[in-house]
Amino acid sequence: MRLLRNQWLGRLLSIAVCVLVLTCAGITWGQEATEDKGPAVPVIKKGETQIVKRFEDPDMWIRHDLWVETEFDSDGDGKLDRMHVDVTRQRQTDTEGLKVPVIYATSPYYAGTSSPVQDYFWDTRQELGAQPPERKVALSIKRKGERPIISKSFVKEWVPRGFAVVHSSSPGTGLSQGCPTVGGDNESLAPKAVVDWLNGRATGYSAPDGNEEVLAYWSTGKIGMTGTSFNGTLALAAATTGVEGLEAIIPVAPNTSYYHYYRSNGLIRSPGGFVGEDIDVLYDFIHSGNEARRDYCDCEVRDKEMLQNFDRVTGDYNKFWAGRDYLNDLDNVKAAVLMSHGFNDWNVMPEHSVRIYQALKEKGIPVQAYYHQGGHGGPPPMKMMNRWFTRYLHDVDNGVDEEDRAWIVREDGDRSKPTSYKDYPNPDAEPVELFLAGGAPERGGLSTSKASRQGRETLVDNFSFSGEALAQAEWTNHRLIYVTPELKRSVHLSGTASISIKLASSKSAANLSVWLVSLPWKNGKKVKITDNIITRGWADPQNRRSIRKSKPLVPGKFYKLTFDLQPDDQVIPAGQQIGLMIFSSDRDYTLRPDPGTKLTIQLHATHIKLPVVGGADAYAKVFEEDSSQDDAGGSDLETGAVSED
């Protein structure tokens, strides 16, 4: 303890000398500087933080770990939980008194996860509304990694640019104390404590149970957070605490609501690629923490809180899910947010980012969005991230505040060169209403003309057939599909499509799945599923009035329900047709009840609204012959305000 205090006093003297040298040399933070004169400092040119040669050598970096004390005791041992933290910083932070801003990432995954996960999922082969079969509990996780390094992510990109990089394991994972809660308050307060430590407001220790303090004397107190998926979620979670010093975040494909991750409009739905996963499964998947407190955490968090409240019978939204929805916690957010997401992310679906982006924009928080056409993950280009962190961690006026809000990678485009738009959805997008014309069991029509009497059509549920197979089928009674004429020009969709549907079920409960597809279906080794699926959505007809309260259907009685599909921004090329497919069980996402449930659709009372750039006038023109190529919109990253040099 005395040794650390003496080191601190020595460093204070060193920092004072360094500040004097920097002042005499005329070098201040936020100004462009050269690295060949005076002490090593961050260099900023053209609004971006540059690589500094004296920061590049990994052998000259300082690496150490510590435990930061939080304000909660989530594992019930009577002591405040401590989070395991690692630090990678420039040697000059010791030798020259250099202070640097911080790029910080926290995760439940750094210490390893359970495997094989599929063995512990819920069995989706069950009747709707029934108690699910019991599932097997995952085995204990063997922690991976060696101290002091928790993770190597972001180090090569940011330390040479004059940022320290900090990682931490979230509660109940790795060497961090506490219980994992998968969206509970402690997962927001844990990174808050680390930001507080970096600002001198929380205490760090050299051991999980010791009293020897570790100080962040090298930190400027300005922190930026980033990460993908759960890691991106935790960046947003930290921002919701309003902690001072967290200046900017870049969440990539963040899960912003665990209800929206595991449910859709009252329907029990798996995230893409993980059929049968639910929040308790994810808890077991990440619980790599202290064996001594595992039984307590399993009992209090998983068994009492999750299993008793997550409602895998009705799928209704309740207090448990509301407490894990970050849209409800945005009042304290002050950090500037650069959101990143893929429009074809069927794991953490794009609504997760869009809903937060819209809410923060309304609150006046500095916010931008980067969207691409791929799947899960995919950060913004390094240039965008650099400018974002340079603006808010170095307080350099580099113009990001005045740039367009939305940056979208166009179809088959280079992800480093997105196209800029004033906002998302595209400000020129307007809803265009399309109506159905019968054709079952083959294909019906989809157009802006509403027929007065279209009657009814029926489908028979059968989970044995995938959505892809149903969309390609020429004749089947397991789905209904309605298609537009062939597009003569491309059509640009931007925003959220919504469907209003009037249906009756032969049973008191039924799955409802809706896909918007581009036809004809493309096949081949290099073809991605995203080449055909425009967007999709799912709903429980029992939740037609509210996602908080389900009400059984009266067999044969017609009900009207309206719900949104997933947000999108896509240009459908000429030569394709837009198809609306309605079916029941989606085998890759929903529960799988016995086949045979019949859904009958009243065609004249069913329609879909598409967000078309240019509105009805533009949509009408897509069926006219045109020899020119439509342009999707604004400037791209190559020529715009954040162009590549």
Q: Are 480 and 514 in contact (CB under 8 A)?
A: no
Residue 229 designated active-site: yes
pLDDT of residue 327: 98
Q: How far is residue 179's CA from residue 83's CA, in Å, rounded to a whole number? A: 11
Give the residue-averaged pLDDT of 334-348: 98
Neighbours of 511 (CB within 10 A): 26
Grouping H, G, I as helix, E, B as strand and the rest as coil, residue 612 is strand
Q: How far is residue 235's CA from residue 229's CA, in Å, rounded to a whole number? A: 10
**In what helix (H) or strand (E) does residue 431 lie, and over which residues does it extend?**
strand 429-437
Q: 405, exposed or middle or buried, with CB in 10 Å at 0-12, 13-18, 19+?
A: middle
pLDDT tens sequence across 138-164: 777 888 888 999 999 999 999 999 999
**In what helix (H) or strand (E) does residue 12 lie, and over which residues does it extend?**
helix 2-25
Q: 292, exposed or middle or buried, with CB in 10 Å at 0-12, 13-18, 19+?
A: exposed
Q: Which among 114, 229, 264, 513 is annotated as catalytic?
A: 229
Residue 348 CB partners (closer than 8 Å, separation 6+): 229, 253, 254, 255, 261, 271, 341, 376
Give the residue-averaged pLDDT of 561-586: 97
Residue 376 designated active-site: yes
pLDDT of residue 459: 98
pLDDT of residue 526: 60
pLDDT of residue 20: 36
Give the residue-averaged pLDDT of 596-609: 97
What are the structural domains, with CATH classification, of the chain? 2-115+144-255+332-421 (3.40.50.1820), 429-621 (2.60.120.260)
pLDDT of residue 139: 76
Q: Does residue 599 register a pLDDT over 80? A: yes
Q: Which among 81, 345, 404, 586 is annotated as catalytic?
A: 345
Q: Does residue 499 register a pLDDT over 70? A: yes
Residue 345 designated active-site: yes
Site of tokens 């009805």: 616
* 370, β-bridge pairs: 340, 407
pLDDT tens sequence across 377-394: 999 999 999 999 999 999
Provide the pairing of β-strand 533-539 with 456-460. Answer: unpaired
Provide the pairing of β-strand 61-69 with 204-205. Answer: antiparallel
Q: String of b and e for 483-494 (b: at least 16 CB within 10 Å)?
A: bbeebebbbbbb
Grouping H, G, I as helix, E, B as strand and the rest as coil, residue 565 is coil
pLDDT of residue 8: 44
pLDDT tens sequence across 25-58: 333 343 444 445 689 999 999 999 999 999 999 9
**Percent of the chain clearing pLDDT 70 (strictly above):** 90
Calculate the average pLDDT of the chain.
91
Closest C-alpha to 633, from 413, 349, 383, 486: 413
pLDDT tens sequence across 540-567: 999 999 999 999 999 999 999 999 999 9
pLDDT tens sequence across 203-255: 999 999 999 999 999 999 999 999 999 999 999 999 999 999 999 999 999 99
Query: Quick one: angle between helices 230-239 and 186-198, nearest 10?
Result: 70
Give the residue-averaged pLDDT of 359-371: 98
Site of tokens 């157009």: 447
Q: Phi, psi at residue 445, to the nearest 5°?
A: -105, 160
Q: Phi, psi at residue 451, to the nearest 5°?
A: -75, 145
pLDDT tens sequence across 466-496: 999 999 999 999 999 999 999 999 999 999 9
Neighbours of 458 (CB within 10 A): 15
Q: Which among 341, 376, 478, 607 is annotated as catalytic?
A: 376
